[in-house]
Structures are given as structure tokens and as C-alpha cells.
Amino acid sequence: MSTLFTPFSMGPLTLANRIAIAPMCQYCADEGMAGDWHMIHLGHLALSGAAILFLEASAVSPEGRISPKDLGIWSDGHAAALAPIVAAMRRHAPIRLAIQLAHAGRKASSMVPWEGGANIAVGEGGWQTVAPSALPHAEGDTVPLALDDDGLARIRDAFVAAAVRSHALGLDAIELHAAHGYLLHQFLSPLSNRREDQYGGSLENRMRYPLEVFAAVREAVPASMAVGVRISATDWVEGGWDIEQSVRFSQELSAAGADFIHVSSGGISPAQQIALGPSYQIGFASRIREATGMPTIGVGLITEARQAEDIVARGDADVVALARAMLFDPRWPWHAAAQLGARVDAPPQYWRSQPRQYKDLFGPAA
């Protein structure tokens, strides 16, 4: 029996298998509003056979967008724009739905990737960024304003309001984005956090604000909604955030009631030196899973069915997440199930596509 296609629970949330679709920014929202592309894109992925689909990073405030085209959830209007998309997926697919709540911090106000991704200056259509400290992400970028107590409270409350809207939409889970060099990660890393108050300096202090945001979000939604965190396990920069600090942070999150941890890496500095290769981040996930016992999602150049099967069968991660591989092959879970001799969910409209040699791929398909 394939371990990849066995059920698994992350807190209150039961998954049909161990395959997740990682959040992937689409950079096509209008003033943060979801539109036709999101209906097509997310609806397409909802039929993939994966167990859970994470909606892309959704900004909790306008200045928290990575680019002017980012998806947002900072108002009831933004939630209303997402509602018909969520409803359509619910009607046609059993996939679990999660949202990644995010604030880009000093990495905000950037061009979309296919236009180069460079920082947009304030006088050229960009906006003033904020961060733990007044340190730009890269030379020449807008210097962010260091957040004061009022700013910290405002952003924490924005996360809470976004979480409440996400629950009202009927989503199954929330993932707080504390990875890839965005705001919550900026507080964690000593490379970006040079504060001299209770939110800077020691590891305990640098963890304080992300943990406060998590606690506020966890309290704002019922226990029936799973809440987890995506982290960068290492900055890939000497003197930066690393796996041992990630273990400690994950232990604190577990104690605070986190239902899962999603383990990625990098993004805090252009100086990063990433050792790329198949499954290159899975060792970090394994270390955190072993130290915390928390349901763990592993991600990073996972492209092959047997590769994913081996990861979960060995216990290196409980769930594997795919991003680019799923864009390239939106039926990746079907093909993986065929290769591994497993069953996968497919809509009845597609049952007749089942290849003759895989007579049980879609279960009792008639």
C-alpha cells in the first residue's frame, strides 16, 4: 500500500492523502481582488486529486502586498470576491482549502516576476514599506520604516481580521507566512531584525512578535479550523536564521497550539547560497518533525511519485507539498497514484479518462 495515498490528520483537519498544493502567487489581482484568473486557476487545481490546496499568499493590508497585483484579504470586499471561487470549488471537488495570510514587510512594493521583480520606488508607483528595522532587503531598495508599537498592533490586528474573514469564507485552514524573507520571517532573522526592544536581540525576543501574531490568530478562529505556519528553516547565510533556531520556534508554535508546520527555506537576503537539489529542504522538515512531533509538510524540488512516496514512508515529512511541479502537471496526483498502485479522487465527468491498464485508479468509477 502506498503511504502517500493514506489519510492523515493535521489537528482537526483530515486529509484524504499526503499531497498538498503549496501556495503560489499569481500576481493578477486588481487592487487585491480575486478575479477570473483565480476562478480558472484554483478551480483547475481543485480537480487535481491532491488532498489540500493552499490559496496563494494573501495580503492582510495594502502595504503588505509583494506587488501591486497581489491577492488581498484586508477587507470584506476582498472576501466577497473570493466567495464565489470557494463556492465553485466546494461544489465540484472534495479537496480541502487553506489560505496563506501574509505581509511582505520590506520585500513589498515590487514588480511582478515577469517584469523583473525589482523594488518599485515610492515616487514611481510604489509605496513606503515597513519592517522590524530600517534595513532594506537589497541595496537601492526603499528603506523601510521600523515598526513602532502602534504599527505592530495594527498589523497583528490585520492578521486577526483576515483570519476571521477566512473562517467566514468556510476555508478549512490558515497558514501564516513566516518564510521567504517576508515580515514575520524578518522578525525572526538576526539579518533583518536589529531592534533593541523586546522584539529584537535574543532568540526569545525575535520570536516574540511572530508568536504574538500566531496566538492572536489562533484565538480568533474556532478550534475546528486548523492553523499552522510556514517557515524558512534556514537563511542560507552565515550568521542568519538556522535550523536549530527553527526547531526552537517550532517547539514554541506547537506549545501555542499550531496544527502543522510547513518547512521551506531562504528568501531573507540576496547573499543566500542555497544548495539546490531534489528534496533539498526535506532534511529540515525531518529534523523539525523529530524534535516536535508536529504534523510537518515538506517541500522543495519534489517532482517524482517515488520520491514523494519515500519521503512520507521514511517519516521525513507527513505531507509533501508541490508547487511548480503541480503547475507543470496539474494531474500529478493522478499520475502518482497510477505509478504507485493507489487510488485517487477524480470527478465523475473525468472517469472515462481512466487508462485501461489502471482499472481501479479512480475507485468504483462506472
User: Which uninterrupted H or E stretch holds 176?
Assistant: strand 173-178
Phi, psi of 320 (to 5 degrees): -110, 140
Cβ(74)–Cβ(62) under 8 Å?
A: yes
Cα–Cα distances in angstroms (integers) from residue 146 to residues 60, 132, 133, 365, in the given order = 18, 5, 4, 58
Coil vs helix vs strand at 329 = coil
Which of 182, 199, 209, 350 is labelled catalytic? 182
CA angle, residues 282, 284, 287, in degrees to nearest 5: 110
CB atoms within 10 A of CB 364: 7
CB atoms within 10 A of CB 22: 25
Rounded distance between C-alpha atoms, residue 176 and residue 217, angstroms: 9
Cα–Cα distances in angstroms (integers) from residue 232 to residues 96, 288, 332, 350, in the given order = 24, 12, 25, 38
Helix runs in the chain, H state only:
36-46, 76-92, 149-168, 183-188, 203-220, 243-255, 282-292, 305-314, 324-328, 332-340
Closest CA to 68 of 114, 119, 30: 30
Is 182 known to be catalytic?
A: yes
For 215, what's the count of Cα atoms within 13 Å in the CB-facing half-sphere? 9
Closest CA to 222 of 166, 158, 154, 297: 166
321: CB partners within 8 A, 6+ apart = 19, 20, 21, 22, 54, 262, 297, 298, 299, 302
CB atoms within 10 A of CB 343: 20
Where in the sequence numbering do the catalytic residues fall? 182
